Amino acid sequence: MKRIAVLASGQGTNLQAIIDASERNELAGVVVIVISNCAAAHALKRAETHRIKALFIDPSAYSSRESYDRAVVEKLREAEVDLVVLAGYMRLLSAFFVESFPLRIMNIHPSLLPAFPGTDGIQQAYDYGVKVTGCTVHFVDRGLDSGPVIVQEAVPVIQQETVATLEQRIHAAEHRIYPTAIDLFCRDKLRVEGRRCYIVDK
């Protein structure tokens, strides 16, 4: 069983999907720690409900991005995690953090990358008027939403729909692909060569 850390800043619905998959034995890994940069993050409550160690680390107590990340990395090392999963973690990682876990940090983004990176990926796609959008799980590198793509799911934009209904369908797709990508990692089935992430049979 691989040991997974989840970093989340908000609602934590992706965290919940990951915990649920693990509890249904659909994941060759277990969430051992949840860390948030927001005291009020509902993700922390979800962790506590499932008796998972939940930590709020306060950014205002640190003078720089890197010193904050050093504190987070220390907790991740103490918890002996194999994989760091960003699930709605609304902070850029420092180079120090990324280099501490090479190809062992995943992120989920609510668009088909490389389209619409950054914040508000769903609104950006909606406003652009695309016919298809979706979500992407990727490894984290030093750029913004730019690392090798692991899994994507396309979501069609229905004529006349609101951004709220599109968001619901993208979230539902996220809750399918994130556990899938994490399970592939936990089973050592991901191989990265350059930009390309291959799914291999061991």
Known catalytic residue at 109: yes
User: Closest CB to ligand GAR among 69 and 174?
Assistant: 174
Smallest separation, CB 162 to ligand GAR (Å): 16
The active-site residue, picked from 109, 138, 171, 175, is 109
Helices assigned H by DSSP within the chain? 13-23, 42-49, 65-78, 95-100, 121-128, 163-186
User: Closest CB to ligand GAR among 92 and 200?
Assistant: 92
User: Closest CB to ligand GAR among 6 and 190?
Assistant: 6
At residue 40, what is the residue type? Answer: A
The radius of gyration of the chain's CA atoms, rounded to the nearest angstrom, is: 16
Query: By the criterion CB under 6 A, which residues form the site for ligand GAR?
Result: 8, 10-14, 87-88, 108-110, 121, 171, 174
Smallest separation, CB 188 to ligand GAR (Å): 25
Helices assigned H by DSSP within 58-162? 65-78, 95-100, 121-128
Smallest separation, CB 88 to ligand GAR (Å): 3
Give the CA-trace dihedral at 118, 113, 29, 55, to 10 degrees: 0
